[in-house]
Homo-oligomer: A and B are copies of this chain.
């Protein structure tokens, strides 16, 4: 299984790109011509640099608008091609990509296109090179892979084959099913790209908004499956034009890219395995499986909620968190056996305040001040969950253990905080009984029962990284992205949840540098926890108890409550209670949602209390503008 990536997918100088790509474990690159044109060395220098890094240069795309042209333009193009073949030989690149023509001079004549491509392939073959022809979605007369294949078939030259790119097929909603019928050895190269669904001109969409497979909305798995059924055995490559990737640090982009391919492979492997094991087994699926080293990470974890949320603190800030948590109805129930860490409990919720010097938590504290540094997730098979994460390019984390303490598999999540996978079989107290000295004393709580969701604040260039991380590594499913209006700019937001809805994460990234979300990310770091929502059974009771304990909630405008009955049919008594308590309301076809936010001190963390009624599955996004306006006024 050879994995490749186009140099245009990453930021930086060409040397930096190749270094990042090699470090992420790729075998090769597609060379984007401007990267070479600006490279301060010769073609041979570049070939050596790539080889020294253990990379091949698999593909070069040096020009456009070749086929189906008037004779004079064609002759000029053949001359240009010879110069580019010189470069390819010096660099050691075996394959040239030729895209379908977009020029107004191009004629609608597949026979001429085939004849001219035949001539090009003939020139290439004399030098031991090959040419691949690809249908661009906005090609003038050839925009579908079926048309491109027809031309390649007519040309009938051993050095001419087809190049496939999932973007061009899926953006036009063309059916990839016909690919399986193309002879695999006539498919010379495969480029995979995903994209969000957008109402945008296809050229703009392609040039600015592609994403790695698993980050967008396309059925990239189905596309790849057809290519493997065809018998294709060449490299699997990524050619991603994305404005955000252009500025994302290239090491992170390269890791995302590799995670994306491994995840894609694992999904298609499942599909092929099912085909091969069907009552009427598909022989093409079996031979594709035999041929290729498709990645096979352990299955995605089955989650059973949050085991704990850990705060980084020091001696000075731990007492402040203590006050805040106890005000929220948590009781201090234990001290860690070997670390300066304190456990707080309420209902099913566990919060740990870790002020241990020279610990991982302290290193996060020193970067970001008091903040969440780790999430504990209850998983049915914690070791497999960690192994999957590591197989999909996450970094394993091992904490030093005291005597008798439980080893909890952990990984570093994007942005640098930890995720621990806690054995769900341990039950709500098991982990803590082993690691903490527990004081079973009781105190009245506030009725908060479990963590409903944890919202993360991300830099914009981490949004796609987290989309892929939650989907691929954690196996969560993602809701659609929405854009929420803060008084100082837009915030992009989407939720990720497991099938049982025991584990919900909300990803928030500000498009502006001036929103509260952006300022929180500046303060608590990329992937830091933005707020924590607790679920309860009776929000009015919980709010009353919390207010009595001195918790201050975000004040909501009376106009909000005047407007609510013009949007929803709500019982006047319930409306009056919400108005009095300051509780927000949302409704979907499946149920109702009542929620309220605490006031945040100086851009710090805040909390939310929620009550889900019926099968409401959202997060009150319709109220986020009210929340952010109130926060700006507070």
User: Which segment, of A104-112, A273-281, A557-565, faces chain B?
Assistant: A557-565
Would you call B633 and A40 a contact (CB within 8 A)? yes
Would you call A11 and B488 a contact (CB within 8 A)? yes
**In the complex, A75 has a CB within 8 A of chain B:** no
Closest to A513 in B: B247
**In the complex, A487 has a CB within 8 A of chain B:** yes
Q: How far is the CA of A199 from the CA of B206 in the complex (A)?
A: 13
Taking CB atoms and an 8 Å cut-off, the chain A residues in 64-110 that contact chain B are 80, 83-84, 87
Total contacting residues, chain A, CB less than 8 A: 50
In the assembled complex, the CB of A342 is this many whole angstroms from the nearest CB of chain B, namely: 38
In the assembled complex, the CB of A96 is this many whole angstroms from the nearest CB of chain B, namely: 14
Would you call B630 and A38 a contact (CB within 8 A)? yes
**In the complex, A581 has a CB within 8 A of chain B:** no
Would you call A11 and B489 a contact (CB within 8 A)? yes
- Known A-B contacts A11-B488, A80-B566, A487-B13; A557 and B37 likewise in contact (beta carbons under 8 Å): yes
In the assembled complex, the CB of A614 is this many whole angstroms from the nearest CB of chain B, namely: 23
In the assembled complex, the CB of A509 is this many whole angstroms from the nearest CB of chain B, namely: 14
Would you call B489 and A83 a contact (CB within 8 A)? no
Would you call A629 and B13 a contact (CB within 8 A)? yes
**In the complex, A512 has a CB within 8 A of chain B:** yes
Q: Which of B37, B43, B563 contacts A560 (CB 8 A)?
A: B37
Q: How far is the CA of A40 from the CA of B485 in the complex (A)?
A: 17
**In the complex, A534 has a CB within 8 A of chain B:** no
**In the complex, A115 has a CB within 8 A of chain B:** no
Would you call A490 and B625 a contact (CB within 8 A)? no
Would you call B247 and A566 a contact (CB within 8 A)? no
**In the complex, A34 has a CB within 8 A of chain B:** yes
Q: How far is the CA of A452 from the CA of B36 in the complex (A)?
A: 31
**Chain B residues within 8 Å of A514, by CB:** 11, 247
Would you call B632 and A34 a contact (CB within 8 A)? no
**Chain B residues within 8 Å of A562, by CB:** 83, 87
Would you call B199 and A489 a contact (CB within 8 A)? no
Q: How far is the CA of A41 from the CA of B629 in the complex (A)?
A: 13
In the assembled complex, the CB of A553 is this many whole angstroms from the nearest CB of chain B, namely: 14
Q: How far is the CA of A41 from the CA of B563 in the complex (A)?
A: 14
Q: How far is the CA of A185 from the CA of B199 in the complex (A)?
A: 38
- Known A-B contacts A13-B629, A563-B37, A566-B83; A490 and B246 likewise in contact (beta carbons under 8 Å): yes
- Known A-B contacts A83-B566, A201-B199, A629-B13; A512 and B246 likewise in contact (beta carbons under 8 Å): yes
Would you call B559 and A36 a contact (CB within 8 A)? yes
Q: Which of B243, B512, B559 contacts A39 (CB 8 A)?
A: B559
**Chain B residues within 8 Å of A566, by CB:** 63, 80, 83-84
Protomer copies:
2
Closest to A558 in B: B42
Would you call A12 and B625 a contact (CB within 8 A)? no
**In the complex, A333 has a CB within 8 A of chain B:** no
Residues 617-634 of A, flagged 1 when their CB comes within 8 A of B and 0 if not, give 000000001100110110
Closest to A626 in B: B38
**Chain B residues within 8 Å of A12, by CB:** 487-488, 632
- Known A-B contacts A246-B488, A489-B11; A557 and B511 likewise in contact (beta carbons under 8 Å): no
**In the complex, A116 has a CB within 8 A of chain B:** no
Q: How far is the CA of A243 from the CA of B41 in the complex (A)?
A: 42
Residues 1-28 of A, flagged 1 when their CB comes within 8 A of B and 0 if not, give 0000000000111000000000000000
**In the complex, A399 has a CB within 8 A of chain B:** no
**In the complex, A470 has a CB within 8 A of chain B:** no
Q: How far is the CA of A247 from the CA of B626 in the complex (A)?
A: 17
Q: Which of B11, B63, B84, B512 contacts A247 (CB 8 A)?
A: B512
Would you call B557 and A489 a contact (CB within 8 A)? no
Would you call B37 and A559 a contact (CB within 8 A)? yes
**In the complex, A555 has a CB within 8 A of chain B:** yes
**In the complex, A442 has a CB within 8 A of chain B:** no
**In the complex, A500 has a CB within 8 A of chain B:** no
In the assembled complex, the CB of A64 is this many whole angstroms from the nearest CB of chain B, namely: 12
In the assembled complex, the CB of A496 is this many whole angstroms from the nearest CB of chain B, namely: 24
Q: How far is the CA of A83 from the CA of B564 in the complex (A)?
A: 12
**In the complex, A316 has a CB within 8 A of chain B:** no
Q: How far is the CA of A34 from the CA of B627 in the complex (A)?
A: 12
Max chain B Cβ within 10 angstroms of own Cβ: one of A487, A490, A511: A487
**Chain B residues within 8 Å of A40, by CB:** 555, 557, 630, 633
Residues 490-531 of A, flagged 1 when their CB comes within 8 A of B and 0 if not, give 100000000000000000000111110000000000000000
Would you call B557 and A485 a contact (CB within 8 A)? no
**Chain B residues within 8 Å of A199, by CB:** 200-201, 203-204
Would you call A632 and B200 a contact (CB within 8 A)? no
In the assembled complex, the CB of A548 is this many whole angstroms from the nearest CB of chain B, namely: 24
In the assembled complex, the CB of A173 is this many whole angstroms from the nearest CB of chain B, namely: 16
**Chain B residues within 8 Å of A488, by CB:** 11-12, 246-247
Closest to A16 in B: B487
In the assembled complex, the CB of A372 is this many whole angstroms from the nearest CB of chain B, namely: 25
In the assembled complex, the CB of A138 is this many whole angstroms from the nearest CB of chain B, namely: 11
Q: How far is the CA of A246 from the CA of B511 in the complex (A)?
A: 10
Closest 10 CB pairs of A and B: A199-B201, A38-B629, A247-B512, A247-B489, A80-B566, A246-B489, A37-B559, A247-B514, A37-B563, A40-B557
A sample of 18 inter-chain contacts (CB < 8 A) reads: A11-B514, A12-B488, A13-B629, A34-B485, A34-B625, A37-B557, A37-B559, A37-B560, A38-B560, A40-B555, A40-B557, A40-B633, A41-B557, A84-B566, A199-B201, A246-B485, A247-B488, A247-B490
| Additional pairs, 16, CB under 8 Å, beyond known A34-B625, A39-B559, A42-B559 | A11-B489, A12-B632, A13-B487, A37-B557, A38-B557, A40-B633, A42-B558, A80-B566, A87-B562, A200-B204, A246-B489, A246-B490, A246-B512, A247-B488, A247-B513, A247-B514
